[in-house]
Structure 1
């Protein structure tokens, strides 16, 4: 008999070789009917798999959260079968589960079209309705290569070769169709349901290698219920409306072009948003005791070799050979044998250590909070670039705190308060905190990691912050805090960073004189609140759908005339608004007011002050707010007072007003 432990601690004895299905049947008939898989010692497995002695086993039903990845995995297999039924001769490659769905890569001479999706989805429903069981077989390596070779599935032959010696070659059947797969799967195709949809087409290279075959990738999504699918599709539709690239065009904020891949051309309106954010965060840093520095763009490769970045991130760095003089007459030339390289900095850390090392530092000087709005460059792959969210040239609100071991908890707690204050001001309050712990490959001993992880956990607790553990997700040199922001339509973004580092000060020989008169290594805390300005602006644009709070909007008010007789009064209103500090333009064009309202609504201007003959005579304005049909008539001075208060950045408002505005 085999002894099996259930999640609630109960134990069951089953015959030797019993499966997950046998365990479910031993508990109840209803559970046996609903079971689709098992979780064995925390890992999903097939319902038909033999259960190991002493394992802790949970029966997984289709309604369980763990089943969602299985639904999507099964759906990918059904997609592949449907494509091969409809388009004979198509070769299948790989079809993994991804966030919110799945994809499958196909090799076919003729291109697919999104118009094919209707027929493919219909065939998928047909296959699901057949309700064929998923059955696992283990083949010999030579047999698998022979079968797939005879079928013309050359990509599968290559995948079999890539399976490590000693690992099983697993084949999953669904009816007559089969695929090479690690598994697991649910017990039948019928369990998938009909809450799925194919979403888009894309190109891909086999093995991600641009020198290999071009593949066609079909993306899809699948959910446990039609209600969840509909909610997801609505969110995707809303996300397309909020796409920061689209908003950037509509609001005339920025553009990107082929000749400067991964670098942003900021237009006056976009850079106005940037400047407001930079001024805001600089004031927050000033009041929190930071000193601001500026470091070089180009640094000798020796810095990066000592820091360890050269060996780990060299391929993501833009480097140029140092120029060596030949003769004074000839001027500098590039040497055939390059001994010295210069790199555009991908991060600011080593440069900040150089400033820390300049002069003797005492324990009395610590902590030193060193900030820089540092422009950095990273050679991201072309295919990974995505608007403002993934760029090659970026500016961070970067800072490094040099402190003693004893100051780590208090400095971390201090940063957490700063972070919460800033994100509250931005109207971004739905944030989950994670503590990312030691990865398998890491620098430093376990005692150091124990101390570092405990320091961050203690600080989170002291700050009253609930947090999760992200096991093994820390940096190679130390643990870190992750901040996961949920936006207005439920998407999650990782913002800001906070990393504890004992390694870099050691590698770059940074030290301070302790109270005992001896040299000690400082702890280095890497931190950013926004992260990069580019990505943060992109996130904020999408969160607010371009309708930025008045204080952050690039154009805060437009004064629009109804008739030309009001032009002089409109100019007077414009000047008073500008004098009050509002970013204002006057629209005196000979166009109908409804046309002007529509145009500035597309530009997401928060406030329109409409003036005509009556307003000019009475010294009033008609105030129309973005997204509202109604307008109110106010005396000009009252409108000025209201708009000036609302346009004041949160950190410059009285505490009560700032909290009310954020709420």
Structure 2
């Protein structure tokens, strides 16, 4: 059976649209799609709250002078959008780092505050060539699960190790178990001393080893501002996607003259860690849709369950299941449907729309069981076991 693209799946599931009259590369989430997007956002937020990240929200346009200070104007302006306001040029942000730096720099910082972990669902714009735009996978405006961690050099191993733990937890949660890790080291053109790079690279190696992660070394392939770890996932179609990244940055703290005061009262320069787990929520959902062929984890599903009594006699049993689930999960997206006139047609339509089904016939009522259809498989299980299973899998 041929695999569907995420664009084809989105049409069947009613997830998103793009409109030429609004401009290429911009996603319009439909109601079903917004449920998926917002459920993913909520899961990510909870995962970061547990780990002590502090959440921020920043504007999307800044004076061009800021982009010159950060270096984005020189190195990235072809991919940026600019506009004039009151005779002054502004740039729409393609990245969130300068904004987080301004927050860090806005007040005195002491070593006891570090590491400081700022997180934002940052909405950014990048001017991609129209020929490479593709649904969710290549867009011009998107949302990053973006964090910048300001820390002492001695914190690097601990900080990166914690990020790697979150990377593993996240991709395991979404069924992306096949992963490759790459460690990129000092390129020929770089800032900072060789000793600084060697020390930082060694800490990244130790963080990878502490998490029992095997990796491939890419000598000389680091960014000019610091070594980095990239994470590739392999999907069910055998394709590799570069999603997560952890980058050390010695450059921006220098450019913006960032500092903290150490325990002896001396001014020191922090290290900045750029990191994103998914990279872009939109692109990740495009990858996940194709990986699962639309059978997303239950907590992301727009419609999480339709309960189908085969005749009127089974409606009361079906309603009792719905009520039991609603007691445990008031916000669950489930319903009891009318008995179908044509069961095979109902099942076919649910598969087309990617809606999990619970089939309730005379046999299920007599035995106190249910027949659960999801992702091409049907399982029979006791009613109480199913309610436990569903409540665990469908809750964010």
Give the alignment's TM-score, normalised by structure 1.
0.56
Name the SS for the 2:67 alignment partner: helix
Given the superposition, is the C-alpha separation of residues 611 and 506 from structure 1 closer, same or farther in structure 2, using an over 3 Å criterion?
A: same
Deviations 1:449-492 (A, max 9, x none): 33332332232233332211123322221111111111222211
Match of 2:33 among 260, 270, 273: 270
Given the superposition, is the C-alpha separation of residues 395 and 629 from structure 1 closer, same or farther in structure 2, using an over 3 Å criterion?
A: closer
Contact 2:161-2:207 within 8 A present in 1 as well: yes
Matched, 1:308 2:68: no
Matched, 1:610 2:373: no
CA distance in 2: counterparts of 1:638 and 1:437, whole angstroms: 50
Contact 1:609-1:621 within 8 A present in 2 as well: no
Q: How does 1:555-566 map to 2 (within 5 A)?
A: 555-563=303-311
Deviations 1:287-340 (A, max 9, x none): 1111111111111111111000011111111111022xxxxxxxxxxxxxx4x2
Query: Offset of 1:587 from its aligned partner?
Result: 3.2
CA distance in 2: counterparts of 1:415 and 1:631, whole angstroms: 37
CA distance in 2: counterparts of 1:263 and 1:449, whole angstroms: 39
Larger gyration radius, structure 1 or structure 2:
1
- Residue number in structure 2 paired with 1:365: 113
- Residue number in structure 1 paired with 2:81: 318
Name the SS for the 2:298 alignment partner: coil
- Residue number in structure 1 paired with 2:46: 283
Matched, 1:641 2:391: no
Name the SS for the 1:530 alignment partner: coil
- Residue number in structure 1 paired with 2:335: 585
Name the SS for the 1:434 alignment partner: strand
- Residue number in structure 1 paired with 2:60: 297
Name the SS for the 2:109 alignment partner: coil
Q: How does 1:611-630 map to 2 (within 5 A)?
A: 611=360, 614=362, 622-628=370-376
Aligned length: 393
Contact 2:114-2:151 within 8 A present in 1 as well: yes
Given the superposition, is the C-alpha separation of residues 319 and 589 from structure 1 closer, same or farther in structure 2, using an over 3 Å criterion?
A: farther
CA distance in 1: counterparts of 2:282 and 2:115, whole angstroms: 29
Unaligned runs of 5+ in 1: 1-236, 324-337, 650-663
Matched, 1:446 2:194: yes
Match of 2:216 among 460, 465, 468: 468
Matched, 1:341 2:89: yes
Query: Offset of 1:595 from its aligned partner?
Result: 1.1
Matched, 1:423 2:171: yes
Q: How does 1:219-258 map to 2 (within 5 A)?
A: 238=2, 241-258=3-20
CA distance in 2: counterparts of 1:529 and 1:518, whole angstroms: 34
Contact 1:480-1:498 within 8 A present in 2 as well: yes
Deviations 1:424-448 (A, max 9, x none): 2222221111111233443334343
Query: Offset of 1:408 from its aligned partner?
Result: 0.8
Name the SS for the 2:135 alignment partner: coil
CA distance in 1: counterparts of 2:370 and 2:107, whole angstroms: 61
Q: Which has the higher contact order (CA 8 A, sep 6+)?
A: 2
